[in-house]
Structure 1
Amino acid sequence: MTDRTATYYRIATQIEPFNKKGVELTEGTTFASDLEWDSLTVMDFVAAIEDEFDIIITMNMQAEIETVGQLVATVEKLTA
Protein backbone atom coordinates (compact mmCIF):
# COMPACT_ATOMS: atom_id res chain seq x y z
CA MET A 1 0.00 0.00 0.00
CA THR A 2 1.40 3.38 -0.99
CA ASP A 3 1.49 6.34 1.36
CA ARG A 4 -1.16 8.05 -0.78
CA THR A 5 -3.43 5.01 -0.53
CA ALA A 6 -2.98 4.92 3.24
CA THR A 7 -3.77 8.64 3.43
CA TYR A 8 -6.87 8.13 1.27
CA TYR A 9 -8.17 5.39 3.58
CA ARG A 10 -7.50 7.46 6.70
CA ILE A 11 -9.43 10.35 5.15
CA ALA A 12 -12.24 8.04 4.03
CA THR A 13 -12.53 6.82 7.61
CA GLN A 14 -12.88 10.42 8.79
CA ILE A 15 -15.52 11.13 6.12
CA GLU A 16 -17.66 8.16 7.14
CA PRO A 17 -19.49 9.76 10.10
CA PHE A 18 -20.22 12.86 7.97
CA ASN A 19 -21.45 10.85 4.95
CA LYS A 20 -25.15 10.96 5.84
CA LYS A 21 -26.28 10.06 2.31
CA GLY A 22 -24.04 6.99 2.03
CA VAL A 23 -22.28 8.32 -1.07
CA GLU A 24 -19.68 5.93 -2.50
CA LEU A 25 -16.33 7.69 -2.18
CA THR A 26 -13.83 8.10 -4.98
CA GLU A 27 -10.99 10.56 -5.48
CA GLY A 28 -13.43 12.64 -7.56
CA THR A 29 -16.16 12.84 -4.91
CA THR A 30 -16.95 16.49 -4.18
CA PHE A 31 -17.72 17.74 -0.71
CA ALA A 32 -20.28 20.36 -1.78
CA SER A 33 -22.13 18.62 -4.62
CA ASP A 34 -21.82 14.89 -3.94
CA LEU A 35 -21.76 14.84 -0.14
CA GLU A 36 -23.90 18.01 0.11
CA TRP A 37 -22.03 19.36 3.13
CA ASP A 38 -22.86 22.74 4.57
CA SER A 39 -20.22 25.08 5.98
CA LEU A 40 -20.63 23.82 9.56
CA THR A 41 -20.08 20.22 8.46
CA VAL A 42 -16.99 21.29 6.51
CA MET A 43 -15.56 23.04 9.58
CA ASP A 44 -16.17 19.99 11.79
CA PHE A 45 -14.63 17.71 9.17
CA VAL A 46 -11.57 19.92 8.69
CA ALA A 47 -11.01 19.88 12.45
CA ALA A 48 -11.20 16.07 12.41
CA ILE A 49 -8.66 15.88 9.56
CA GLU A 50 -6.33 18.34 11.29
CA ASP A 51 -6.47 16.24 14.47
CA GLU A 52 -6.01 12.94 12.60
CA PHE A 53 -2.91 14.10 10.72
CA ASP A 54 -1.62 16.75 13.19
CA ILE A 55 -1.67 19.46 10.51
CA ILE A 56 -3.29 22.85 9.94
CA ILE A 57 -5.29 23.45 6.76
CA THR A 58 -5.55 27.19 6.19
CA MET A 59 -8.75 28.88 5.02
CA ASN A 60 -7.06 29.61 1.66
CA MET A 61 -6.26 25.90 1.24
CA GLN A 62 -9.79 24.92 2.23
CA ALA A 63 -11.23 27.20 -0.43
CA GLU A 64 -9.26 25.34 -3.13
CA ILE A 65 -10.14 21.80 -1.99
CA GLU A 66 -13.27 20.54 -3.75
CA THR A 67 -12.70 16.77 -4.04
CA VAL A 68 -11.49 13.92 -1.88
CA GLY A 69 -8.46 13.53 -4.19
CA GLN A 70 -7.51 17.18 -3.75
CA LEU A 71 -7.72 16.76 0.02
CA VAL A 72 -5.51 13.67 -0.13
CA ALA A 73 -2.93 15.63 -2.16
CA THR A 74 -3.04 18.54 0.30
CA VAL A 75 -2.62 16.26 3.32
CA GLU A 76 0.25 14.46 1.59
CA LYS A 77 1.97 17.82 0.96
CA LEU A 78 1.44 19.01 4.55
CA THR A 79 2.72 15.78 6.10
CA ALA A 80 5.77 15.40 3.82
Structure 2
Amino acid sequence: MTDRTAIIDVLKAQIEPFNKKGIAVTEATTFQGDLEWDSLTVMDFVAAIEDEFDIIITMNMQAEIETVGQLADAVAKLKG
Protein backbone atom coordinates (compact mmCIF):
# COMPACT_ATOMS: atom_id res chain seq x y z
CA MET A 1 0.00 0.00 0.00
CA THR A 2 1.40 3.37 -0.97
CA ASP A 3 1.42 6.37 1.32
CA ARG A 4 -1.13 8.01 -0.98
CA THR A 5 -3.43 5.00 -0.72
CA ALA A 6 -3.14 5.13 3.07
CA ILE A 7 -3.93 8.86 3.01
CA ILE A 8 -7.00 8.23 0.82
CA ASP A 9 -8.20 5.56 3.27
CA VAL A 10 -7.84 7.94 6.22
CA LEU A 11 -9.59 10.73 4.28
CA LYS A 12 -12.50 8.41 3.48
CA ALA A 13 -12.81 7.50 7.15
CA GLN A 14 -12.75 11.19 8.11
CA ILE A 15 -15.36 12.03 5.45
CA GLU A 16 -17.79 9.36 6.68
CA PRO A 17 -19.35 11.36 9.58
CA PHE A 18 -19.87 14.29 7.20
CA ASN A 19 -21.25 12.15 4.34
CA LYS A 20 -24.94 12.90 4.90
CA LYS A 21 -25.89 11.69 1.41
CA GLY A 22 -24.13 8.35 1.92
CA ILE A 23 -22.40 8.48 -1.45
CA ALA A 24 -19.50 6.22 -2.38
CA VAL A 25 -16.36 8.32 -1.94
CA THR A 26 -13.64 8.09 -4.61
CA GLU A 27 -10.64 10.24 -5.53
CA ALA A 28 -12.90 12.12 -7.95
CA THR A 29 -15.54 12.94 -5.32
CA THR A 30 -15.97 16.70 -4.98
CA PHE A 31 -16.67 18.31 -1.64
CA GLN A 32 -19.13 20.91 -2.92
CA GLY A 33 -20.72 19.17 -5.89
CA ASP A 34 -20.96 15.54 -4.76
CA LEU A 35 -21.03 15.83 -0.97
CA GLU A 36 -22.85 19.21 -1.03
CA TRP A 37 -20.89 20.55 1.94
CA ASP A 38 -21.43 24.09 3.16
CA SER A 39 -18.55 26.25 4.39
CA LEU A 40 -19.05 25.26 8.05
CA THR A 41 -18.83 21.56 7.22
CA VAL A 42 -15.68 22.22 5.19
CA MET A 43 -14.09 24.06 8.13
CA ASP A 44 -14.96 21.22 10.55
CA PHE A 45 -13.57 18.65 8.11
CA VAL A 46 -10.38 20.61 7.48
CA ALA A 47 -9.82 20.89 11.24
CA ALA A 48 -10.24 17.11 11.57
CA ILE A 49 -7.76 16.48 8.73
CA GLU A 50 -5.23 18.92 10.19
CA ASP A 51 -5.45 17.15 13.56
CA GLU A 52 -5.26 13.68 12.01
CA PHE A 53 -2.13 14.40 9.95
CA ASP A 54 -0.61 17.14 12.15
CA ILE A 55 -0.51 19.63 9.25
CA ILE A 56 -1.85 23.10 8.47
CA ILE A 57 -3.92 23.57 5.31
CA THR A 58 -3.90 27.26 4.36
CA MET A 59 -6.95 29.08 3.08
CA ASN A 60 -5.22 29.43 -0.31
CA MET A 61 -4.72 25.67 -0.49
CA GLN A 62 -8.32 25.04 0.57
CA ALA A 63 -9.55 27.24 -2.26
CA GLU A 64 -7.71 25.08 -4.80
CA ILE A 65 -8.78 21.68 -3.43
CA GLU A 66 -12.01 20.41 -4.96
CA THR A 67 -11.69 16.61 -4.88
CA VAL A 68 -10.62 13.89 -2.45
CA GLY A 69 -7.66 13.08 -4.72
CA GLN A 70 -6.47 16.69 -4.70
CA LEU A 71 -6.72 16.72 -0.91
CA ALA A 72 -4.68 13.49 -0.72
CA ASP A 73 -1.98 15.10 -2.87
CA ALA A 74 -1.95 18.21 -0.67
CA VAL A 75 -1.69 16.12 2.51
CA ALA A 76 1.18 14.07 1.03
CA LYS A 77 2.98 17.27 0.02
CA LEU A 78 2.50 18.88 3.45
CA LYS A 79 3.68 15.76 5.26
CA GLY A 80 6.70 15.83 2.92
Q: TM-score, normalised by structure 1?
A: 0.99
CA distance in 2, matches of 1:11, 1:37: 15
CA distance in 2, matches of 1:49, 1:38: 17
What CA RMSD, in Å, does the superposition of the two structures yield over aligned residues?
0.4
CA distance in 1, matches of 2:43, 2:56: 12
2:13 paired residue number? 13
Tell me the percent identity: 76
Amino acid at match of 1:18: F
CA distance in 1, matches of 2:74, 2:36: 21
**Which runs of 5 or more structure 2 residues have no equivalent in the other structure?**
none
**Shift in Å at residue 36 of structure 1?**
0.1
**Which runs of 5 or more structure 1 residues have no equivalent in the other structure?**
none
1:60 paired residue number? 60
Give CA-to-partner distance per residue, 1:33-76, whole Å, 9 cap, x none: 00000000000000000000000000000000000000000000
Superposition misfits of 4+ residues, deviation over 2 angstroms: none
Amino acid at match of 2:66: E
1:22 paired residue number? 22
1:47 paired residue number? 47
**Shift in Å at residue 7 of structure 1?**
0.5
**Shift in Å at residue 20 of structure 1?**
0.6
Q: TM-score, normalised by structure 2?
A: 0.99
Amino acid at match of 1:25: V
